[in-house]
Structure 1
Amino acid sequence: MKIAFVGKGGSGKTTLASLFLRHLAAESPAPALLALDADINQHLAVALGADEDHVHPALGAHLPLIKEHLRGDNPRIRSTEEMLKTTPPGRGSRLVRVDEDNPVYDACVRTVDGVRLAVTGPFAESDLGVSCYHSKVGAVELLLNHMVDGPGEYCVVDMTAGADSFASGLFTRFDVTFLVCEPTVRSVGVYKQYRDYAADFGVRIAVVGNKISDAEDLEFLREHVGEDLLTCVGRSQHVRAAERGDVRPIGLLEPHNRAALAGMRTLVDAVEKDWPRYQRQAEEFHTRYARAWANAKAGRDLAEQIDPDYLPGPVPVG
C-alpha cells in the first residue's frame, strides 16, 4: 500500500506519520516498510527519533541516478534528460519494491529507529528565485510511479502542507490519503479544499482528527467532516515528550491513541489495489505535464513515452 499524510501546516501530519510508521515497525514480524519525506520542511527523520543535526542523503541530489535506474532499457525513453518526474513505466522499465536492494536505496535510504527513510532534501538557499520545491519532489513521484508494492508492504509519504500537493500528479499516487485535521475552522477549510480537488480523481481520503481535547472538539469535526472522519488522536503526553526531544518507545503511547493507529492500518489493509486506474492517472498527468512545457523543451511529443499496452502490478521484479 502507498499511503500519504497531508493536512494544514501545524496540524500534526508529520507527527502522525511518524507514529504510524513506528506503529508498523513495532509489529512482529515487521512488515516491509519505506518512509519518504516529501515535505518542504524536512522533519520526519527527527520525528522518528533522529538527532536535530542528523544529515540524510537527499533524493533530489540523486535524481540522475534515480532516472538511470528506473529507465532500464525502455526504448520509449531516449535519454535520462528526457525522463520527466511524471514519466510512467513501460516495457523495459526497471520497477522497484518497497524493500529490496537497488542503487537508489543504497544511495538514499537510511534507517531511523527501525524505519527505512528517504528524504527529498530541503529547499536550499541556492534554490531561491530559480527553482521550486516541486522539482525536488519529482524524485518521489518517479519512484512511486515505478513502485509495485504487494500485500504487507507499506510506503508512507509525508507530503507538503495544504493544497501544494496538487501542483503535480503526486496526489494520485496513493491507495489511502490520511488527511490530518485539527478541530479548527482553518484546518477544516484545508480538508474541504483537498476533498474538492481530489474528488474527480477517485482519491481515497480518510480524516484523522488530531489534538482532540474533549467531546466538543470531536463533535466539531463530526459536524464538518462527516463520514470522512475515520478516527481521532487525543492530546498526548507521549507526543509532547517527543517534541522536547524525548522520543519514547511506541508501546508507551496512550492506549486510545495506539488504537487509532491500529484502526488506520485496518483501513489500509482493506483497500484493494486498482492498478489500471493507477497507470491511467500516471499517463494522464504525464500527458498534461509534457504539453504544458516539456514538449517545447524536448522538441518532440514526450507523451510518446507512454506504453499503451503496459500495466504494472504486484509481480516479482529483478
Structure 2
Amino acid sequence: MRRFRAFTSLLIMKIAFTGKGGSGKSTVATLFVAHLRAAGHRVLAVDADVNVHLAPLLGVTAHSRGALSHPDNVTALRSHLIGDNTLIGGVQRFVATTPPGPGSRPVTLDPGDPVLAAHAVALDERTHVMHVGTYEPEEIGAGCYHGHLAILENLLSHLRTLDGDWVVCDMVAGTDAFANSLHAQFDAIVVVVEPTPESVTVARRYRELAAAAGVADLLVFVGNKVADEIDRDYLRRELGTEPLTVLTAQAGLRRARQLGVCPSLTDLDDATPLRRVAEHVRPVDPRRRRALLRDLHLKTAGKDWVRNAYGDVSDQLEPVTV
C-alpha cells in the first residue's frame, strides 16, 4: 500500500492539444515538443488523433502493428500495468477508467522502461513517440475511435514522471476527449483556434464541456494562423477572453510543410508563444485528479453495457480512507 501511495502522489506534467480539424493543433503540438526538447526536458509525445499526424511530423513512421490500440499491444500493455494488483481481476476486466492500485506497475520516461521499449520510438534517449492508431479496413462499421483511446487512458493513469518530464498528446479533433476520462488526465488542455467561425465554435463548445466536467480552469486557448490585429480582435470577441498566446501566420513554417519537411523551431519567426504555454502549465493536485477519475470510473461502472461485458468493475477502486 505504501509503495502505491508514493506512486500516485507524484506530480505529472501532461498537456493535450486539441481543436477543430485543420486548426493546426498537430503542428503546434509538434513545435511544443521541439521547444521542450530544446529546453532539455524528457518528453513522451503521443499521437492520439485518428488521422495520425503528430508521429509523421516528428519523423516517425506510424505502422499499424506498433499502434497502442492494436489488440496484441492492448493485451500486452494492460498485462504489464496490472502487475500484482488483484483488484482489477485480470486483463479481461481492464476498462478505460480502470485505475492503478496496490501492486500496479507504473510507466516512466526512463529509457529502459519496458513500456517505452515495447511501444515507443526513440528520437533520442530523452524523447519518445507513441501513436494510438487509426481505423483499419477490417474495423469499418465495427466500432468507434473511442474504443481505441481506452488504452491511452490506461497509459496516462499509470504514468509516473519526474520533475521536468512532460507528456504531450495530440488529441482527436473536436470534443471527443470528453467521451471517457481523458479530459481528467491532463494538467492543461490547449485548444488551438483559428480566427474563423468554425474554429471558434468548436473552441466555445470545448469550454462549455470543460466547465461541465469540472476542468474549466485547465483549458486555455492558443490562437493560430493569426495574420493581423483584426484576427486578434476577432478571437477576443468571439471567445469572450484573451487567448493565452497567439502564433502568427508563419511563412517559414508553411514553406517547410510544402516541402514535406518536419516543422522545427527554426521555421518560426518567434518561439515565445511556445514558452508561454510551457510556463502556464501547473500540475493538478493529485487528490483532485484521483477524485475526478474515481467519479468517472464509478460512472463507467454503472453503465449497463459495462456491467454486461465486464461485470461490476466498481470493486477495482480502493476504499476511501480519511
TM-score higher than 0.5: yes
For 1:158 and 1:152, the matched residues in 2 are separated by 19
What is the 5 A alignment of 1:71-82?
71-82=82-93
Structure 2 residue aligned with 1:162: 174
Q: Could you tell me the percent identity over the aligned residues?
A: 36
For 1:136 and 1:295, the matched residues in 2 are separated by 20
Tell me if the contact between 1:6 and 1:159 (Cα under 8 Å) persists in the aligned partners. yes
SS at match of 1:31: coil
Deviations 1:155-189 (A, max 9, x none): 00000010122111111110001100000111111
TM normalised by structure 2 equals 0.88
Q: Tell me which amino acid in the other structure corresponds to 2:43.
A: L
Structure 1 residue aligned with 2:272: 259
TM normalised by structure 1 equals 0.89
Tell me if the contact between 1:17 and 1:156 (Cα under 8 Å) persists in the aligned partners. yes
Please tell me whether residue 247 in structure 1 is matched to residue 258 in structure 2: no
Deviations 1:114-159 (A, max 9, x none): 7410001121111111121111111110011111233211000000
Structure 1 runs (4+) greater than 6 angstroms displaced: none
Structure 1 residue aligned with 2:36: 24
Structure 1 residue aligned with 2:228: 214
For 1:235 and 1:139, the matched residues in 2 are separated by 35
What is the 5 A alignment of 1:223-238?
223-227=237-241, 229-238=243-252
Deviation at 1:248?
Answer: 5.5
Deviation at 1:242?
Answer: 3.1
SS at match of 2:272: helix
SS at match of 2:175: helix
Mean CA deviation greater in 172-181 or 227-236: 227-236
Picking from 55, 59, 63, the partner of 1:45 is 55
Q: What RMSD, in angstroms, separates the aligned Cα atoms of the two structures?
A: 1.9
Tell me if the contact between 2:256 and 2:267 (Cα under 8 Å) persists in the aligned partners. no
Deviation at 1:276?
Answer: 0.8
Residues 112 and 150 from structure 1, CA distance in 2 versus in 1: closer, same or farther, beyond 3 angstroms? closer
Deviation at 1:103?
Answer: 2.5
Tell me if the contact between 1:238 and 1:248 (Cα under 8 Å) persists in the aligned partners. no
The count of corresponding residues between Structure 1 and Structure 2 is 302
SS at match of 1:229: coil
Structure 2 residue aligned with 1:117: 129
Deviation at 1:287?
Answer: 1.6
For 1:16 and 1:157, the matched residues in 2 are separated by 11
Structure 2 residue aligned with 1:66: 77
For 2:199 and 2:236, the matched residues in 1 are separated by 13
Task: Structure 2: state its 5+ residue gaps.
Answer: 1-12
Please tell me whether residue 285 in structure 1 is matched to residue 300 in structure 2: no
Please tell me whether residue 84 in structure 1 is matched to residue 95 in structure 2: yes
Tell me if the contact between 2:30 and 2:263 (Cα under 8 Å) persists in the aligned partners. no
Deviation at 1:42?
Answer: 0.4
Picking from 39, 43, 53, the partner of 1:33 is 43
Deviations 1:80-112 (A, max 9, x none): 111112101111111122335233211110034
For 1:215 and 1:198, the matched residues in 2 are separated by 28
Structure 2 residue aligned with 1:315: none
Please tell me whether residue 202 in structure 1 is matched to residue 211 in structure 2: no
Task: Structure 1: state its 5+ residue gaps.
Answer: 312-318
SS at match of 2:112: coil
Deviations 1:258-278 (A, max 9, x none): 01111111112xx14310111
Tell me if the contact between 2:27 and 2:263 (Cα under 8 Å) persists in the aligned partners. no
Picking from 131, 137, 156, the partner of 2:143 is 131
